[in-house]
C-alpha cells in the first residue's frame, strides 16, 4: 500500500513539474527565431500578410522572424511541414482559405483540423465579381439574366481548379442556377489578363488584382463576394445584396500552429494579432492593399475553420470538382 502511495505521489510531482516547465516556457516565449511558413509564392496576399505579422512579432518581442515560402499543391506542402513540426510555437503556418478546401481535393498525409492549433484569422481579401466591359451587364441581376439566356456559353476564369476563385464561381453557378463555363489558369495574374483581353467574360478575384483594371476602365466591377461590404471597396454591394441571397465567400488569410501548442503560447500570438488589427496605422496599410483586417479569438476561429471545411467540402463533392 505504501509503495502505491509513493508512486502516486511521484506521478503527481512529475505532472506538476511538467506543468511548471510548460508555464515557464510560455512565459519566456519567444526565446529564439520563429519561422512562419507561407503557403504561396512571394508577392500575394498570404505572403504579404505573413510578413507583416512577422514584423509585428519582431517589434513586440525583439526576436527574429523568418518567413519561408513553400508553395505548391494548394498549400498542402507548407501545411504538412508545419503539421509535423514541434508544437513549441517556433514553426507557424500562414495559410489561406485553401486550408478548408484541400481536404476535399487531395489525399492528405495530415488532418487539417486535428493536426493544427488555429491561432487567429488575420485578414479577409474581398473578391470582386468582375466582367469584361464588352459584356452588356451592369449588375449581378443583369449578369444572371444574360447568362441564363446563354447556358454553357459564358466563360469564367480562375487561378486553377479547386482554387478559391474557382469555388466562388461554382457556388454562384449553383445558387443562381447558372451554367458558366470554367477556364482554369496557373495563377491569378494570367486569369485576370485573359479577362482584360476579352478571352473570358467573368471572374471573381481579389480586389487588389481586379480594382486597378476596374478604375482604368478595363473591367467592370459588379459586387463583392464577401458576406458584408468591404471597407476597402465600400462602393460595391455584396453579391447577396445584389441578387443572390445567402451568397457569401470570404477569402481569408490566417495563422496556425501545430496541434499540441500550449494555450499560453497560442494566446500570446493571438494577443499580438489583436493589437495589429486594432492599430490604425496597420489597418490603413492593410486596407490600402485591398485587405480587410479582422482578427478572431482562437476558440472562435477553430469553429470557423470547421464550418468552412464542411461548406467547401460539400460544394466540391456536389459539383464533382477535381484538381488538374
Q: pLDDT-based confidence at 73, cuts 50/70/90?
A: confident
pLDDT of 275 above 50: yes
In this prediction, residue 17 carries a pLDDT of 47
Find the helix or strand (DSSP H, E) in which 182 lies: strand 181-184
Higher-scoring residue by pLDDT: 17, 229:
229
Q: pLDDT-based confidence at 224, cuts 50/70/90?
A: very high
Find the helix or strand (DSSP H, E) in which 56 lies: helix 45-61
Separation between Cα atoms, residue 104 and residue 311, nearest integer Å: 10
Average pLDDT, integer, range 220-234: 94
C-alpha to C-alpha distances, 204 to 3, 26, 165, nearest whole angstrom: 69, 42, 6
Compute the Cα dihedral for 309, 314, 315, 319 and give only its sign: positive
Average pLDDT, integer, range 93-99: 95
Report the 10 Å Cβ neighbour count for 282: 17
Separation between Cα atoms, residue 262 and residue 87, nearest integer Å: 8
In this prediction, residue 25 carries a pLDDT of 55
pLDDT of 141 above 90: yes
Q: pLDDT-based confidence at 279, cuts 50/70/90?
A: very high
Average pLDDT, integer, range 67-79: 92
Q: Please name every residue paired with 128 in a beta bridge, in sequence order, or none if there are none.
A: 205, 224
Higher-scoring residue by pLDDT: 33, 5:
33
Q: Please, which residues have CB within 8 angstroms of residue 108's CB and are 6 or more apart in sequence? A: 76, 80, 102
Average pLDDT, integer, range 307-317: 95
Contact 85, 79 (CB under 8 A): no
Pull the grid cell for residue 25.
Answer: 516556457
The two beta strands, 220-224 and 91-96, are unpaired
- Which position has the grid cell 494555450? 263
Averaged pLDDT score across all residues of the chain: 91
CB-based burial, 43-77: b 16+ in 10 Å, e otherwise: ebbbbbbbbbbbebbeeeeeeebebebbbebbbbe
Domains and CATH numbers, the chain: 30-124+250-319 (3.40.190.150), 127-225 (3.40.190.10)
Pull the grid cell for residue 103.
Answer: 481536404
Length of the chain in residues, anyone?
A: 324
pLDDT of 15 above 50: no
Higher-scoring residue by pLDDT: 16, 166:
166
Q: What percent of the chain has pLDDT over 90?
A: 77
In this prediction, residue 159 carries a pLDDT of 86
Q: Please name every residue paired with 254 in a beta bridge, in sequence order, or none if there are none.
A: 95, 121
C-alpha to C-alpha distances, 39 to 180, 182, 263, 284, 293, nearest whole angstrom: 29, 24, 24, 25, 19
SS3 per residue for 188-248: HHHHHHHHHCCCCCEEEEEHHHHHHHHHCCCCEEEEECCCCCCCCCCCCCEHHHHCCCCCC
Average pLDDT, integer, range 48-61: 95
Separation between Cα atoms, residue 104 and residue 280, nearest integer Å: 38
Query: How many angstroms separate the first and last alpha carbons of the chain?
Result: 66
Amino acid at each position: 500500500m505504501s509503495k502505491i502511495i509513493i508512486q502516486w505521489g511521484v506521478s503527481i510531482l512529475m505532472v506538476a513539474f511538467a506543468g511548471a516547465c510548460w508555464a515557464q516556457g510560455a512565459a519566456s516565449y519567444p526565446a529564439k527565431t520563429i519561422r512562419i511558413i507561407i503557403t504561396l509564392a512571394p508577392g500575394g496576399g498570404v505572403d504579404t500578410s505573413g510578413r507583416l505579422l512577422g514584423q509585428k512579432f519582431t517589434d513586440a518581442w525583439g526576436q527574429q522572424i523568418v518567413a519561408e515560402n513553400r508553395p505548391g499543391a494548394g498549400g498542402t506542402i507548407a501545411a504538412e511541414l508545419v503539421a509535423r513540426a514541434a508544437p513549441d510555437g517556433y514553426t507557424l503556418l500562414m495559410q489561406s482559405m485553401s486550408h478548408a478546401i484541400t481536404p476535399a481535393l487531395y489525399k492528405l498525409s495530415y488532418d487539417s483540423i486535428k493536426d493544427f492549433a488555429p491561432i487567429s484569422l488575420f485578414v479577409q481579401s474581398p473578391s470582386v465579381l468582375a466582367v469584361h466591359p464588352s459584356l452588356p451587364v451592369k449588375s449581378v441581376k443583369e449578369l444572371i439574366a444574360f447568362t441564363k439566356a446563354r447556358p454553357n456559353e459564358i466563360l469564367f476564369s480562375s487561378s486553377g481548379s479547386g482554387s478559391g476563385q474557382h469555388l466562388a464561381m461554382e457556388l454562384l453557378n449553383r445558387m443562381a442556377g447558372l451554367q458558366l463555363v470554367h477556364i482554369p489558369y496557373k495563377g491569378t495574374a494570367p486569369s485576370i489578363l485573359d479577362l482584360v483581353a476579352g478571352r473570358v467574360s467573368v471572374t471573381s478575384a481579389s480586389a487588389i488584382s481586379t480594382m486597378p483594371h476596374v478604375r482604368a476602365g478595363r473591367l467592370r466591377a459588379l459586387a463583392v463576394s464577401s458576406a458584408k461590404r468591404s471597407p476597402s471597396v465600400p462602393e460595391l454591394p455584396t453579391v447577396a445584396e445584389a441578387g443572390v441571397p445567402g451568397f457569401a465567400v470570404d477569402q481569408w488569410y490566417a495563422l496556425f500552429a501545430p496541434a499540441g501548442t500550449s494555450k499560453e503560447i497560442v494566446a500570446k500570438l493571438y494577443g499580438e494579432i489583436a493589437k495589429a488589427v486594432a492599430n490604425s496605422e496597420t489597418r490603413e496599410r492593410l486596407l490600402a492593399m485591398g485587405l480587410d483586417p479582422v482578427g478572431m479569438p482562437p476558440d472562435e476561429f477553430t469553429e470557423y475553420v470547421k464550418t468552412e471545411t464542411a461548406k467547401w467540402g460539400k460544394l466540391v463533392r456536389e459539383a464533382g470538382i477535381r484538381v488538374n
